[in-house]
Amino acid sequence: MLVRPITYHLEISQDSIKSEPVVHLESSTPFQPFAVGDKMSWNGFRNARWLPEPQTGQFLRVKDVLHFIWDIRGSNIGHKVRLCVEICNVEDLPTHH
């Protein structure tokens, strides 16, 4: 059995999982798993086309996750994770007492 390379993609869209991605990353190694409700900083994506642009004191919260897997026979295998995120304020974080 021929072992073929796997290409990993991470796309981030805003508002809808169907929206055009504002971030696209490609890697030869898998990205960490994501789940609805996960929070992340937007600072690493300053060149993204956010509408509106996130501000200091805001973060991204994952609203939806969609996986695409494809197999191009004789070539490669691909795994794309598309995240739909919303911009939230730090004040929106739940407090733990």
Nearest to 89 by CA among 47, 52, 58, 60: 58
Identify whether 97 is part of a domain: no
Identify whether 10 is part of a domain: yes
Enclosing domain of residue 15: 6-92
Q: What is the pLDDT of residue 47?
A: 85
Identify whether 39 is part of a domain: yes
Identify whether 61 is part of a domain: yes
Identify whether 1 is part of a domain: no
21-65 pLDDT, tens digit each: 999 999 999 999 999 999 999 988 878 888 888 988 899 999 999
Number of domains in the chain: 1
Does residue 97 carry a pLDDT above 90?
no
Q: Is the distance from CB of 6 to CB of 26 less than 8 angstroms?
A: no
* Mean pLDDT of the chain, nearest integer: 89
Q: What is the pTM of this model?
A: 0.84
Q: pLDDT class for 94, splitting at 50, 70, 90?
A: low
